[in-house]
Amino acid sequence: MHVPDGFIDAPTSAVTGVVAAGALAVSLRGARRELDERAAPLAGLVAAFIFAVQMLNFPVAAGTSGHLLGGALAAVLVGPYTGVLCVSVVLLMQGVLFADGGFTALGVNVTDMAITTTVVSYAVFRALLAVLPRKRRSVTVASFVAALVSVPAAAAVFTLLYAIGGTTDVAIGKVATVMIGVHLLIGLGEAAITALTVSAVIAVRPDLVYGARGLRQPLTLRVHGALVDAQAPAGASTAPEAARASRRALWVTGLATSLVLAGFVSFYASSNPDGLEKVAHDKGIDKKEERHAAAGSPLADYAVRNVSDARLSGGLAGVTGVGVTVLAGSAVFRAVCRRRTGDVAPADTGL
């Protein structure tokens, strides 16, 4: 759903840019409460994983494909404020390096794909957790529904922005119907990816999942008619060294998965236009689309210039994107974490 330059007029793009900047400022402050030395590396990894999975377009209807937006996934794993930052880092990398999503439309894309999806999904997620049993399975179920709702919500927000500042004269009612309809189908794919990823992380490190905080309860035993807290056995895996090793293993596994998805699996992704591209072409929204300012980038369109082999070119571009995104994201989130806890030596943070 990356909006290119030329779809939305300059005044509306400028307003969304101000909205996006304000939301990012608020998110930076909010992320200080969500991030610590354990969560900051995971947040960088989440950004890289979202970048990788966004390269995997999946077919949803005749001639149309969809891909992960990632707002719900990021919000559940690392928190809503950090989630906005995660998706925004991805959008920035995509726009600067890969000419995906316009520069003048960056505010539109952040507002739509980062802010809307994260805020809507986390609100739905929390509402569901309030009524579901306090179990890990409830986190997975709530994340599925939240992700499903977030995608058509983003489609509705784009339609609203286009109604305000669209550069072509189209029937907004028909655009809204088609946009929300096709993105409801895409939302099913988003929901499946989000739920599977959340359940996988919960299975190995539930304490690192922001949306699962507060669900764990201490084990109690009845002794002589009274309930007492059970003591953890000596040498249990809660020791700091074991916990650090477990976080490192999760980070390495996640990064390796992201590299494989972006560097290899992405070659088999659907080549059909995504939901917005399809609707834009069918309804004439793209008549005034402008050439991306970074169209001459060596990595434009997720391919390495002067590499003739399509598989190798796309794979190298994907691996580069994952690497740059995890570095940029990790730098941002470690800086935010240090603003909260004070300067921390790299050796003390671990993974």
Q: Average the pLDDT over 295-319 and give the result.
A: 95
Write down the pLDDT at residue 220. 46
Write down the pLDDT at residue 223. 55
Q: What angle do CA 217, 34, 113 make, to 5 degrees?
A: 115
Domain, as residue range, for 184: 10-216+238-349
- Whether residue 261 contacts residue 254, with contact meaning beta carbons closer than 8 Å, is answered with no
Backbone angles phi, psi at 297, to 5 degrees: -60, 145
Q: pLDDT class for 224, splitting at 50, 70, 90?
A: low
Closest CA to 57 of 276, 253, 254: 276
Q: pLDDT class for 345, splitting at 50, 70, 90?
A: very low
245 domain residue, yes or no: yes
Q: pLDDT class for 350, splitting at 50, 70, 90?
A: very low
Residue 229, beta-bridge partner list: 220
**What secondary structure does DSSP assign to 205-236, as a single string?**
-GGG-GGGTT-----EEEETTEEEEPPPPTT-
Write down the pLDDT at residue 105. 95
Distances (CA, A) of 145 to 82, 115, 178: 20, 18, 21
- Whether residue 70 contacts residue 279, with contact meaning beta carbons closer than 8 Å, is answered with no
Write down the pLDDT at residue 234. 47
Q: Average the pLDDT over 176-204 and give the result.
A: 96
Q: Average the pLDDT over 238-264 and give the result.
A: 88
Q: pLDDT tens digit string along 271-286?
A: 999 999 999 999 999 9
Write down the pLDDT at residue 226. 56
What does pTM read for this prediction? 0.90
Percent of the chain with pLDDT over 90: 79
Q: pLDDT class for 338, splitting at 50, 70, 90?
A: confident
Closest CA to 156 of 141, 139, 176, 138: 176
Q: Which residues contact 275 (CB under 8 A, 6 or more apart)?
A: 1, 60, 64, 65, 66, 155, 179, 182, 183, 186
Q: What is the mean pLDDT of the chain?
A: 90
What Rg do the C-alpha atoms of the chain give, in angstroms?
Answer: 21
- Whether residue 31 contacts residue 238, with contact meaning beta carbons closer than 8 Å, is answered with no
227 domain residue, yes or no: no
130 domain residue, yes or no: yes
222 domain residue, yes or no: no
Q: pLDDT tens digit string along 85-140?
A: 999 999 999 999 999 998 999 999 999 999 999 999 999 999 999 999 988 899 99
Q: Is the pLDDT of residue 218 over 70?
A: no
Q: Is the pLDDT of residue 204 over 50?
A: yes
- 221 vs 277, higher pLDDT: 277
232 domain residue, yes or no: no
Q: Is the pLDDT of residue 155 over 60?
A: yes
Q: pLDDT class for 346, splitting at 50, 70, 90?
A: very low
Give the torsion sign (CA, 262, 110, 151, 326): positive
Q: Is 156 helix (H, G, I), strand (E, B) or coil?
A: helix
140 domain residue, yes or no: yes
CA distance between the termini of the chain: 33
For residue 52, give the CATH number of its domain: 1.10.1760.20
Q: Is the pLDDT of residue 79 over 90?
A: yes
Write down the pLDDT at residue 85. 98
5 domain residue, yes or no: no
How far is it, in rounded angstroms, from Cα 112 to Cα 3?
A: 9
How far is it, in rounded angstroms, from Cα 39 to Cα 77?
A: 9
Q: Average the pLDDT over 142-159 and give the result.
A: 98
Q: Is the pLDDT of residue 259 over 90?
A: yes
- 234 vs 33, higher pLDDT: 33
How many structural domains comprise the chain? 1
Q: Which residues contact 108 (CB under 8 A, 6 or more apart)?
A: 3, 7, 8, 12, 13, 16, 158, 161
Write down the pLDDT at residue 316. 97
Q: Average the pLDDT over 234-262 and give the result.
A: 82
Q: Average the pLDDT over 64-92 and give the result.
A: 97
- Whether residue 244 contacts residue 351, with contact meaning beta carbons closer than 8 Å, is answered with yes
Write down the pLDDT at residue 311. 95
229 domain residue, yes or no: no
What is the 8-class DSSP label of residue 3? Answer: P
Write down the pLDDT at residue 215. 73
How far is it, in rounded angstroms, from Cα 133 to Cα 79?
A: 21
Q: pLDDT class for 337, splitting at 50, 70, 90?
A: confident
Q: Average the pLDDT over 250-271 and give the result.
A: 96
- Whether residue 275 contacts residue 67, with contact meaning beta carbons closer than 8 Å, is answered with no
